[in-house]
Structure 1
Amino acid sequence: MLPTIGSMVYIQSFKHDGSLHRTWAKGFVIEANESQIVAVTNKTWVTEADGRKWFTREPAICFFYPDKWFNIITMIRKTGIYYYCNLASPSLYDGEAIKNIDYDLDIKLYPNGLFEILDEDEYEDHGKKMNYSNDIKMIVEGQMQDLIRRIKEMEDPFNDETINRYYKLYQKMQKQ
């Protein structure tokens, strides 16, 4: 099942133990096919597991994949395009929301091409507390290496041309 292009969807991220991690009140779907769902969050409420809420300030183009153990959020800021990559289960759309399981590790890519791996302590801690299997750890760590390769090779969507194309599409769809 795929969301309708031009529709608003709810986005939910869970933890391995089934608890809700984070939700986005709405994402505007600009592409949906068998290989990816692309949605834009812009001035939307995000609710954290602890109940804390915050409002997104800039447009973010979000890439969700049904066959990859990560999703990518690109934030379009005045200082450039920032990428936030979440190591997570493949994403699925069930008619209610785009859903995935967050596996803690993240990669942040800056406009200057430098990147950093985030939340390694959280990954180790949650791995023990939530009993991540060796298979899950192998997949997540392997996918992290694949993401690093994709970043270094500027493979889609890790290039400004791709993000600008999607942003222009979003702006055009918003006017219609």
Structure 2
Amino acid sequence: MEYMDIISYKHDGQLHRVWRNVVKLFEDSEITVLINNEVDVIDGDGRKWKTREPAVCYFFKKHWFNVICMLRKENVQYYCNLSSPYVIDKEGLKYIDYDLDIKLFPDGEVLELDRDEYDFNIKYYHYSDKIIKIIDDNMKKLLAMIDKREDPFNNSCVYSWYSKYLDLEQQEDKK
């Protein structure tokens, strides 16, 4: 299995959060799919914690958001971060977190989170009009994908990636 860190930053380059040793499942010219399962997380302020459940993570090279699909007992809960497209270097997969989040619950409820943080950071970090427009446009694109249940907002797609991860883990255990 190939491991890497996920590293998120704020607009000014300040470290926001690091997920340690996540597993890379897939990468092509459009997307990278990772999975974390009880991995160590370090917040920018130094606080450390562990993820509680497996999560399939989709990072896009052309969209300004990423999607974290948390596998909880008998359902999937989706957490979407408005963010820059990612880059990968020797340190890991990196992106800028733009504060706004969308949560999709198993019952179909969609909830916008952290609007107040985003509105504050527009001024604090001096987001340009261009960045604000990109975030607004990508929020609309994200909500349309959710509404249509396009991948990755499709439980069978998420479980398929999770199954691939379990197969890789089993192969690793045999070594």
Q: TM-score range by the shorter chain?
A: over 0.9
Structure 1 moving runs of 4+ over 3 Å: none
d(CA) in 1 for partners of 2:49, 2:166: 23
Unaligned runs of 5+ in 2: none
The one of 53, 57, 65 equivalent to 1:62 is 57
1:73 paired to 2:68: yes
Whichever residue aligns with residue 88 of structure 1, its letter is S
Uncovered stretches (5+) of structure 1, i.e. residues with no partner: 1-5
The match for 1:87 among 82, 104, 122 is 82
Secondary structure of the equivalent of 1:98?
strand
**Root-mean-square deviation over aligned CA pairs:** 0.8
Deviation sequence 1:73-103 (CA, Å, 0-9, x none):
0100015100000000001111221000000
The equivalent of 1:148 in structure 2 is 143
Deviations along 1:25-45, one digit per CA (max 9) or x if unpaired, are: 111011011111111000111
Which of these residues, 11, 16, 19, is aligned with residue 14 of structure 2?
19
1:100 counterpart = 2:90:
no
Once residues 29 and 79 of structure 1 are traced to their aligned partners in structure 2, the CA distance between those partners, rounded to angstroms, is 24
Partner Cα distance (2:117, 2:133) in 1: 17
Cα drift, residue 48 of structure 1 = 1.0
Provide TM-score, normalisation by structure 2.
0.96
Q: Secondary structure at the match of 2:62?
A: coil
Tell me how far apart the structure 2 counterparts of residues 12 and 74 of structure 1 sit (CA, whole Å).
Answer: 18
Q: Which residue of 2 aligns with 1:36?
A: 31
Q: Secondary structure at the match of 1:131?
A: coil
TM-score by length of 1: 0.95
Number of aligned positions between the proteins: 171
Report percent identity of matched pairs: 43
1:96-118 superposed Cα distances (whole Å, 9 cap, x missing partner): 21000000000001011111000
Letter in 2 for 1:72: V
Q: Match for 1:158 among 141, 153, 156?
A: 153
